Amino acid sequence: MPLVSMRQVLDEAAKGKYGVGAFNVNNMEQIQSIMEAARETKSPVIIQASRGARAYSQDRFLYHLMIAATEVYPEIPTVLHLDHGNSPETCFSAIEMGFTSVMMDGSLMPDGKTPSTFEYNVEATRKVVEAAHAKGVTVEGEIGCLGGIEDGHGTGLDGLSHLTDPGQAVEFVKATGLDALGIAIATSHGAYKFSSKPTGETLKMARLIEIHKRLPDVHLVMHGSSSVPKDLQDIINQYGGKLKPTWGVPVEEIQLGIKNGVRKINVDTDNRLAITGAIRKVFAEKPEEFDPRSYLKPAREAMKKVVALRMTQFGQAGHANDYKPISLETMANRYAAQPVAV
Ligand SMILES: [Zn+2]
């Protein structure tokens, strides 16, 4: 089947009351890990690429790898999503290239680190919604700013300075007509999120629940939601790595989020850790190896394991065949029938 609209995948997730992991990729091995995990667990898939990933893979390679994924795994509904588009132009180029979903992150200015105004965010996001929906492409927006910096995105602050205001979130959704909303509830990008295990209070889960109460039909997105498991950190450090102790977002808090409207969960760090640990292990144990396949195969397998586990924990496992894909044309007609209220 061709790449599908993220809106459809998230609508189905809402019906089934589960979450869908959105995993970042830069190369063939990462795409293969995710697709293999999806086949094993019978899961729908969201694969996302940041601006950095698009530059690294030169866009066309990424696109054709994704087409290969849909050919080799035809039974899996697969979304290609732009992570943190920094400007309407970045989103337009992604739509042009064949992404079926884009994130317009207007919470920050196009430099990807300066917090913007509410008015700027509404204007940029709405512009993208108009262009994207005309082609049946899904739009994720963000209100409030995340902490940390990854691929040039995030404020570099602690993640607490610009939490999402529930009232503003309601206004933002009404004014933009977006499909999914990224919220800031003290999560941050990168491996170093928390210096001890966070509780629901550290994570501002009450705020998430409040946002969901006021926007029950909006698909919420948790960014920076790797769990940064200790066993993966340990493998890296055991084989010569030097990670400092760190804590991510506990899976049980993500599951509480899923009970309260979270439909998309962004995970990147966990997969990076799995890949790096597996490669370090080969280098340490078999220093005579020099065939890239001898370390990329175990790396691919290690990432597949983490992804399959998350797919099961988020509840998307078993749902790949629940529905037939809706074409982007049909999605575009649906959007046209329900214009955004001015
Ligand atoms: Zn993010």
Of the pLDDT bands very low, low, confident and very high (cuts 50, 70, 90), residue 162 is confident
Helix (H, G, I), strand (E, B) or coil at 145: coil
Is pLDDT of 102 > 60? yes
Helix (H, G, I), strand (E, B) or coil at 267: strand
Greater confidence (327 vs 187) lies with 327
Q: How far is the CA of 282 from the centre of ligand 1 (A)?
A: 31
Is pLDDT of 229 > 90? yes
CA distances from 220 to 1, 27, 195, 198, 316 (A): 26, 27, 26, 20, 15
| Average pLDDT score, the chain | 95
Q: How far is the CA of 109 from the centre of ligand 1 (A)?
A: 15
Q: How far is the CA of 223 from the centre of ligand 1 (A)?
A: 4
- Surrounding ion ligand 1 within 5 Å at CB are 223
- Which whole number is the average pLDDT over 285-289? 98
Phi, psi at 177, each rounded to 5° = 70, 25
Rounded distance between C-alpha atoms, residue 310 and residue 221, angstroms: 15
Polymer length in residues for the chain: 342
- Which whole number is the average pLDDT over 216-238? 97
Q: How far is the CA of 292 from the centre of ligand 1 (A)?
A: 30
Q: Has 268 been annotated as catalytic?
A: no
Q: What percent of the chain has pLDDT over 70?
A: 95
The per-residue pLDDT for 340 is 63
The model's pLDDT over 118-135, given as tens digits with 9 standing for 90+, comes to 999 999 999 999 999 999
Residue indicated by tokens 């969960």: 265
pTM: 0.96
- Which whole number is the average pLDDT over 280-288? 98
Q: How far is the CA of 289 from the centre of ligand 1 (A)?
A: 36
The per-residue pLDDT for 225 is 95
Catalytic residue (choose from 11, 59, 83, 322): 83
Residue 159 contacts residue 188 (beta carbons within 8 Å): yes
The per-residue pLDDT for 255 is 98
Is pLDDT of 342 > 60? no
Residue indicated by tokens 């966070």: 198
Strand partners, 194: 247
The per-residue pLDDT for 156 is 67
Of the pLDDT bands very low, low, confident and very high (cuts 50, 70, 90), residue 14 is very high
Q: How far is the CA of 224 from the centre of ligand 1 (A)?
A: 6
The per-residue pLDDT for 72 is 98
The model's pLDDT over 84-93, given as tens digits with 9 standing for 90+, comes to 999 999 999 9
Q: Helices then strands (H, E): number in the chain?
A: 13, 8
Q: How far is the CA of 272 from the centre of ligand 1 (A)?
A: 15
Q: How far is the CA of 275 from the centre of ligand 1 (A)?
A: 20
Of the pLDDT bands very low, low, confident and very high (cuts 50, 70, 90), residue 150 is low
Q: Is 201 left (phi over 0), alpha (psi -120 to 50) or beta?
A: alpha
The span from the first CA to the last CA of the chain, in angstroms, equals: 36
Q: What percent of the chain has pLDDT over 90?
A: 88
Extract the tokens encoding 303: 């990432």
